[in-house]
Every structure is written in structure tokens, then in C-alpha cells.
């Protein structure tokens, strides 16, 4: 698997604007986020100004511009989860971890992202940590959950 930005870019033809989104996706898949360095490099490879690459990337919620924490928390922002109290969850996370949507804790352990409907509305509210779903979760459960995670990762 290619790891560096240069290697990923090399797979796409120089100056091909249509490759922009696939390149950005692949970089994010490999590196976890779009760094400034990556955006500038992609721009020079595809012959696009970095302002444009950044503008397009920020259009999509999918792209991140700060590295993820080791544990990435996705909170469902869909309608049912919203009604069932996903906002309260976010407030609780803010209280426990001091992070908002799109931010990472200082120690780099947790990062938070609000996502659109995860399709588990019957189990609302839903959060997902590194691919593991936690359903019908209440704010009180969060402290325990985060403590467990911290303990397990040493």
C-alpha cells in the first residue's frame, strides 16, 4: 500500500483535474487527514491552485484537515438521534474531553466528528468509536466508556 503523498499522487496523471477527489480520498484513507502539505502537493501535481483544492475539499464533510485521534468518535447527527438526544451527548463529550466537532484532544487519544445518519435509527442515539457501534447510549454511559478506552490503551 502506498504510504507517502508523493506515491499516491504518482498513480494519477499529472495535470488531470478530474483525479482531484480520488487523490484526496486516497490520501485521507492512508494518512488519516488532509495536511496542508498534502493539499499543496496535490495542487502542484494536478496543476490546480492550492486555494482551489482547499476550497473543494472543505465543501465535503468527508475530508478532515486535522489528524484523527487514536480513537475517533463519530456521533450520529441524523433526525432520530437528534430527537433521542445526540446534542446532549455532544455536550457531555465537550464536558468530558473538551472537544467539539472536528477537534482532537490534546493528548491525541480522542477525536470527534458529527456525521449524518448512520442508518441505525431504531437504536438511536448512536455513536461509533473506531468502527465499533454503541447504541441507545446515554450521556451517563460516556464517562465509563472513555475511561475503559483509556485504561485498555494503557
Partner 1 sequence: MMFFDIEVNGKTIKARNGETILSALERNAISVPTLCHIRGLQPSGACRMCVVEVEGRQGLIPACSHPVEEWMKIRTHSPRVIKARKTNIELLLSNHPDDCLYCESNGNCELQKFAEDLYVRERRFYGKKNKYKTDPSSAAIFRDPAKCILCGRCIRVCEEVQDITALEFIGRGNEMQVGPAFNKGMNLSSCINCGQCIMVCPTGALTEKKHPAELQEMLHNPAINTIIQCSPTLSVTLAEEFGLRPGKDIEGVMYAVLRKIGFDHVFDTSFAADLYIAELTNELLNRISSGGKLPMFSSCCPAWIKYAEQFRPGLLGNISVCKSPQQMMGSVISNHFTQLKKIQPENIYSVSAMPCIAKKFEAQREQMTHKGITDVDMVLTTRELARLIRLNGIDVQQVESEMADQPYRTRSASGKMLAVSGGLTEAVIRALHFRITGKDLPLKRIPELRSSKAVKEFSIKIGDFKLGFAVINGMGNAPELLNEIESGRNDLHFIEVMACPGGCVGGGGQPAGKNAGSVRNRIKAIYEIDDKEPVKTPYKNPSLNALYETFLIEPGSDESVNLLQTNYQKREVLL
Judged by beta carbon, residue 56 or residue 121, the one nearer partner 1 is: 56
User: Which helix H or strand E contains 115, and what residues bound it?
Assistant: strand 110-115
Q: Quote the CA–CA distance of 27 and 32 in Å, as a whole number.
A: 7
- 91: Cβ–Cβ under 8 A, 6 or more apart, which residues? 139
Give CA separation, 141 vs 17, 19, 63, 135, in Å.
46, 43, 29, 11
The binder of partner 1 chosen from 25, 30, 33, 40 (CB under 8 A): 40
Q: Quote the CA–CA distance of 85 and 79 in Å, as a whole number.
A: 10
Please list every residue from 57 through 116 that binds partner 1, using CB under 8 A.
58-60
52 binds partner 1 (CB under 8 A): yes
The binder of partner 1 chosen from 32, 43, 85, 139 (CB under 8 A): 43
Judged by beta carbon, residue 112 or residue 137, the one nearer partner 1 is: 112
- 19: Cβ–Cβ under 8 A, 6 or more apart, which residues? 12, 13, 46
Among the residue ranges 23-31, 55-63, 86-94, 126-134, the one whose residues contact partner 1 (CB under 8 A): 55-63
User: Which helix H or strand E contains 21, and what residues bound it?
Assistant: helix 20-31
Judged by beta carbon, residue 54 or residue 146, the one nearer partner 1 is: 54
Closest distance of CB 50 from partner 1, Å: 4
Judged by beta carbon, residue 79 or residue 138, the one nearer partner 1 is: 79
Contact positions vs partner 1 (CB under 8 A) = 36, 39-40, 43-44, 49-55, 58-60
Amino acid at each position: 500500500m502506498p504510504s507517502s503523498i508523493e506515491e499516491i499522487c504518482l498513480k494519477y496523471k499529472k495535470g488531470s483535474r478530474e483525479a482531484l477527489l480520488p487523490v484526496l480520498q486516497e490520501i485521507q484513507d492512508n494518512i488519516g487527514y488532509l495536511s496542508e502539505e498534502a493539499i499543496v502537493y496535490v495542487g502542484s501535481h494536478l496543476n490546480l491552485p492550492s486555494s482551489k483544492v482547499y476550497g473543494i475539499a472543505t465543501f465535503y464533510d468527508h475530508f478532515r484537515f486535522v489528524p484523527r485521534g487514536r480513537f475517533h468518535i463519530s456521533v450520529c447527527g441524523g433526525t432520530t438521534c437528534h430527537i433521542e438526544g445526540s446534542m446532549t451527548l455532544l455536550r457531555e463529550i465537550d464536558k468530558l474531553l473538551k472537544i467539539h466537532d472536528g477537534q482532537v484532544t490534546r493528548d491525541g487519544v480522542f477525536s470527534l466528528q458529527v456525521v449524518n445518519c448512520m442508518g441505525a435509527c431504531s437504536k438511536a442515539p448512536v455513536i461509533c468509536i473506531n468502527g465499533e457501534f454503541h447504541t441507545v447510549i446515554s450521556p451517563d454511559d460516556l464517562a465509563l466508556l472513555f475511561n475503559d478506552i483509556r485504561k485498555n490503551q494503557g
